Amino acid sequence: MVRELTHFIGGKQVPGTSGEYGDVLDPNTGRVQARVPLASREEVEAALADAEAAQREWAGWNPQRRARVLLRFLRLADAERDSLARLLSSEHGKTIADADGDLQRGLEVVEFAAGIPHLLKGDFTDSAGTGIDVYSMRQPLGVIAGITPFNFPAMIPLWQAAPALACGNAFVLKPSERDPSVPLRLAELFVEAGLPPGVLNVVNGDRLAVETLLTDPRVGGVGFVGSTAVAEHVYTVASANGKRAQCFGGAKNHLIVMPDADLDQAADALIGAGYGSAGERCMAISVAVPVGEETAEALVAKLVERIGELRVGLSDDPAADFGPLVGADALERVRGYLDVGVAEGARLVVDGRQAELPGNGDGFFVGASLFDHVTPDMRVYREEIFGPVLSVVRAASYEEALRLPTEHEYGNGVAIFTRDGDTARDFTRRVNTGMVGVNVPIPVPVAYHGFGGWKRSAFGDLNQFGTDSIRFCTRTKTVTSRWPSGLREGASFVIPTMG
Ligand code: NAD
Q: pLDDT tens digits, residue range 286-309?
A: 999 999 999 999 999 999 999 999
pLDDT at 484: 72
425 pLDDT band, cuts 50/70/90, is: very high
Q: What is the spatial distance between Cα 316 and Cα 88, in angstroms, rounded to a whole number?
A: 11
Atom of ligand 1 at shortest range from CA of 206: 11
- Provide the pLDDT for residue 403: 98
As a whole number of angstroms, the distance between CA 443 and CA 415 comes to 8
Q: Residues lining ligand 1, judged by CB closer than 6 Å?
A: 147-152, 174, 176-177, 206-207, 210, 225-227, 230, 248-251, 282, 384, 386, 412, 453, 457
User: Which tens digits make up the pLDDT trace of 71-106?
Assistant: 999 999 999 999 999 999 999 999 999 999 999 999
CA distances in angstroms from 156 to 111, 161, 183, listed in the order given: 14, 8, 10
Ligand 1, atom 10: nearest CA belongs to which residue? 176
**How far is it, in rounded angstroms, from Cα 443 to Cα 281?**
12
Single-letter amino acid code for the residue at 140: P
Q: Express each pLDDT in 229-284 by its tens digit.
A: 999 999 999 999 999 999 999 999 999 999 999 999 999 999 999 999 999 999 99
Q: Which residues contact 295 (CB under 8 A, 6 or more apart)?
A: 257, 258, 259, 261, 263
282 tagged catalytic = yes
What is the spatial distance between Cα 480 and Cα 161, in angstroms, rounded to a whole number?
32
Q: At what angle do helices 63-79 and 155-166 cross, to 10 degrees?
A: 160
| Ligand 1 centroid from CA 228, angstroms | 8
446 CB contacts (<8 Å, ≥6 apart)? 108
- How far is 95 from 385, CA to CA, in rounded Å? 20
In the chain, the amino acid numbered 76 is L
Fold of 253-438: Aldehyde Dehydrogenase; Chain A, domain 2 (3.40.309)
- What pLDDT is stored for residue 486 in this prediction? 54
Question: Ligand 1 centroid to 392 CA: how many Å?
Answer: 26
Spell out the domain ranges in the chain. 3-249+457-479, 253-438
pLDDT, average across residues 64-68: 98
CATH architecture of 3-249+457-479: 3-Layer(aba) Sandwich (3.40)
What per-residue confidence (pLDDT) applies to 354?
Answer: 93
Closest ligand 1 atom to 230 CA: 2
Q: What is the mean pLDDT of residues 111-139?
A: 96
Taking the centre of ligand 1 as the mean of its atom positions, its distance from the CA of residue 186, in whole angstroms, is: 20
Model's pTM, two decimal places?
0.96
How confident is the model at residue 434, as a pLDDT? 97
